[in-house]
């Protein structure tokens, strides 16, 4: 079953603009992770935010987590054409190796 | 360079045939995972292994089998019992804790002939 659901399913912006993607989930979590997938490739880990954190930054990425609303957002600032990819949230509900559950992703297109 | 290697990149299966997808990692990771990705969808867990000679079913294990005879290798067999095998298959690994990022291979695309 899908724990995380991303919104929007697809997003198209101009280079230089900011891109915001949202993720909602259903059960309590230990942490939430964001991954990126270029077309036809594997996923690449971007950032992890723990359940006791509210905001985290990494370069042009900013992630927020609201556990009361069971939601997270990923902001990419000053987007580039190379940011074009699918972005997935993944939730860890148990802390064990098994429980990393992925959402259905947001397809981001950055137009040059 | 350390990483995960999946092979082949493309694979075709005939009716009634079993096929095996290879996954090898040189990251010294304890845990390995197999996911299935359908078009426009997220990843669904097929099987995972936290240690050599041990593995557990994920959400969609029916029609698949795995083995973990070596720490570096976690092959996935798609059996003839899997009636809808066309998908993109991804292998991943990490040290085995949920707070650790998973490292992914570049996938195998399986199609039916």
- pLDDT tens, B49-74? 999 999 999 999 999 999 999 999 99
Contact at CB, A45 and B106, closer than 8 angstroms:
no
Q: Which two structure tokens, joined as six digits, stand for B96?
A: 């085995």
Segment B11-54, tens digit of pLDDT: 998 888 999 999 999 999 999 999 999 988 889 999 999 999 99
Residue B98 has its nearest CB partner, among A41, A88, A97, at: A97
Residue in chain A nearest B41 by alpha carbon: A104
Contact at CB, B94 and A97, closer than 8 angstroms:
yes
Task: Specify the pLDDT at position B97.
Answer: 72
10-residue mean pLDDT series, chain A (112 residues): 75 97 92 95 95 96 97 97 96 70 94 93
Mind giving me the DSSP string for B59-106? TT-TTEEE--SBTTB--EEE-TT-S---EEEEEEEESS-TTSPPEE--
Alpha-carbon separation of residue A79 from A87, B1, B4 (angstroms): 14, 29, 29
Contact A30, B98 (CB under 8 A): yes
Mean pLDDT on B82-93: 94
Task: Specify the pLDDT at position A15.
Answer: 97
Task: Specify the pLDDT at position A100.
Answer: 83
- Hey, what's the torsion of the CAs at A3, A101, A75, B2, to 10 degrees? -170
Mind giving me the DSSP string for A29-90? -SEEEEEEE-TTS-EEEEEEEETT-SEEEETTEEEEEETTTTEEEEEE-S--GGG-EEEEEE
What one-character DSSP code corresponds to residue A28? -
Contact A33, A78 (CB under 8 A): no
Using an 8 Å CB-CB cutoff, list chain B residues near A29: none
Contact at CB, A98 and B59, closer than 8 angstroms:
no
Task: Specify the pLDDT at position A6.
Answer: 85
Q: Does A88 touch chain B (CB under 8 A)?
A: yes
Q: Mutate which of A26, A100, A104, A108 to test chain B, going by most B C-beta atoms within 10 A?
A: A100
Contact at CB, B42 and A102, closer than 8 angstroms:
yes
Mean pLDDT on B80-108: 91
Residues A14, B17: Cα–Cα separation, whole Å: 47
């Amino acid at each position: 079953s899908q724990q995380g659901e991303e919104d929007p399913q697809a997003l198209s912006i101009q280079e230089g603009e900011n891109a915001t993607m949202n993720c909602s989930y259903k059960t309590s979590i230990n942490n939430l992770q964001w991954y990126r997938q270029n077309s036809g490739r594997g996923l690449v880990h971007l950032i992890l935010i723990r359940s006791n954190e509210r905001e985290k930054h990494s370069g042009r990425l900013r992630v927020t987590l609201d556990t009361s609303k069971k939601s997270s957002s990923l902001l990419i600032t000053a987007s580039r054409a190379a940011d074009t990819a699918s972005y997935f949230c993944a939730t860890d509900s148990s802390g064990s190796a098994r429980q990393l559950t992925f959402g259905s992703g947001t397809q981001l297109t950055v137009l040059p | 360079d350390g990483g995960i290697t999946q092979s082949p990149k493309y694979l075709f299966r005939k009716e009634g045939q079993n096929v095996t997808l290879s996954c090898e990692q040189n990251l010294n990771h304890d845990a390995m995972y197999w996911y299935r990705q359908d078009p426009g969808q997220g990843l669904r867990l097929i099987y995972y292994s936290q240690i050599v000679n041990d593995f557990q079913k994920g959400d969609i294990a029916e029609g698949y089998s795995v083995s973990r005879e070596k720490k570096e290798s976690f092959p996935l067999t798609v059996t003839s019992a899997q009636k809808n095998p066309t998908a993109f298959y991804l292998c991943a690994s990490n040290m085995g804790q949920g707070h650790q990022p998973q490292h992914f291979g570049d996938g195998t695309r399986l199609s039916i002939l």
